[in-house]
Amino acid sequence: MRASIERGWRPDFALDLRSVLAPLRRGLGDPAFRVTDAGRIWLVANTGAGVGTLALHTVAGEVRATAWGDAAQLLTDGLPALLGAEDDDSGFEAHHPLIADLRRRMPALRLGSTGRVWDPLVASVLEQKVTGHEAHRSWRELCRRFGTRAPGPAPEGMYAPPTPAAVLAIKDWEWHRAGVDLTRRKAIVAAAQVAHRLEKATRLRGREGRDLLRTVPGIGFWTAAEIAQRAWGDPDAVSVGDFHIPGLVGYALLGRKVDDKGMLEVLAPYAPQRHRVVRYIEAGGPGKPRFGPRFAPRDYRGM
């Protein structure tokens, strides 16, 4: 095993380590993301250089990072971007008192960037039109059975998601066992077939990057936005088609429920920073009333 690589980095902005990394976590049992009792955050990722493990913690305002595996150098080089150093909110203007208040109270809210498409793509497709419980179970199953064990002294049970090559080798019945229906399976397989081309989206960024992602059958506006938010910290990528977000935005800014059209209308003055507004609302907004039907988790293993 290659030796570990260490790096210390002191941001020149307010930083909440858990907050900026939270969008990368897919449920409490995520095999690719772990927070230990000591407060250290562990990540496992696929990169163009291979698989790597990254461990992070802060000491007196400095972020201490240690990485292992073939991707160790790449992960430590990408540390500032991962933690929001490339996030530019200088032109942001609050058009609602709530957003102004949240912005004042949460100066450490930043949009991080992994610089990679594949891992968030798999997780985002799995979350299409199912409950979080279902999606996270499928994610755990695929990572543990077809992913790569985390390099280095990572906590037990940590794995990188399956690579594109590993995805293409998964048998139909294995997808079924993992609770992944045909529609989502076909989208992930289609993406795996052109995975190297899709990484160009992180260089294109913005709408052009999202449009490239949507050339894959089965990846629409919602999925492209979810990927863009994580892969390059896209501040304007709104998750149109989400089951919860229009309601959150509507109740927070208008005091009532809205649909996607209404959400886009109320967010329009914030372009090109609309996703940032959603993040403020998710992190500290009033939420929405809890009523109405809920999706029931399905277990495909017995079908």
pLDDT in tens, 116-128: 999 999 999 999 9
Position 171 in a domain: yes
Same domain, 25 and 123: no
C-alpha 294 chain-centroid distance: 23
Statement: residue 14 has pLDDT above 90: yes
Based on the fold, state whether residues 140 and 225 are members of the same structural domain: yes
Please tell me the distance from the alpha carbon of residue 80 to that of residue 89, in angstroms, as a whole number: 16
In the chain, % of residues over pLDDT 70: 94
Does a structural domain hold residue 283? no
Residue 135's pLDDT is 97
Same domain, 72 and 160: no
Judged by DSSP in three states, 148 sits in strand
Same-domain check for residues 71 and 130? no
For residue 130, the enclosing domain spans 118-231
Average pLDDT over residues 51-68: 97
- Using the predicted structure, report yes or no on whether residue 232 has a pLDDT greater than 80: yes
Residue 255 in domain: no
pLDDT of residue 1: 53
Domain co-membership, 41 together with 122: no
Same-domain check for residues 126 and 225: yes
Helix and strand numbers (H, E) in the chain are 16, 7
Give the global pTM. Answer: 0.93
What is the per-residue pLDDT for 97?
Answer: 97
Residue 272 lies in a domain: no
- Residue 62 sits in the same domain as residue 128: no
DSSP-derived secondary structure for 187-201: HHHHHHHTHHHHTTH
Predicted pLDDT of residue 290 = 61
Q: Is the dihedral of CA 169, 192, 82, 108 positive or negative?
A: negative
Mean pLDDT of 172-196: 97
Q: Contact 127/226 with Cβ under 8 angstroms?
A: yes
Burial (Cβ within 10 Å: 0-12, 13-18, ≥19) of residue 9: middle
Last residue in a domain, options 231, 252, 280 = 231
Res. 298: pLDDT tops 60: no
Evaluate if residue 194 carries a pLDDT over 70.
Answer: yes
**Is residue 68 domain-shared with residue 125, that is, in the same domain?**
no
**What's the pLDDT at 184?**
98
Tokens 């430590």 belong to: 76
Residues 53, 11 share a domain: yes
CB 10 within 8 A of CB 62: yes
Q: Residue 190: what pLDDT?
A: 98
Single out the residue in 206, 231, 256 at which a domain terminates.
231
Give me the pLDDT at residue 2, please: 66
Domain count, the chain: 2
User: Same domain, yes or no, for 69 and 155?
Assistant: no
* Residue 239 falls inside a structural domain: no
Single out the residue in 39, 73, 89 at which a domain terminates. Answer: 89
**Does one domain contain both 84 and 127?**
no
Residue 287, pLDDT score = 78
Q: Give per-residue pLDDT as tens, 78-134.
A: 999 999 999 999 999 999 999 999 999 999 999 999 999 999 999 999 999 899 999
Average pLDDT, the chain: 94
In a domain, 256, yes or no: no
| pLDDT above 60 for 17 | yes
In a domain, 72, yes or no: yes
β-strands 62-69, 5-9 pairing: antiparallel
Tell me the CATH number at 205. Answer: 1.10.340.30
pLDDT of residue 70: 97
Cα distance between residue 18 and residue 86, in whole Å:
17
Q: What is the pLDDT of residue 299?
A: 46
84 and 138 share one domain: no
Residue 274 lies in a domain: no
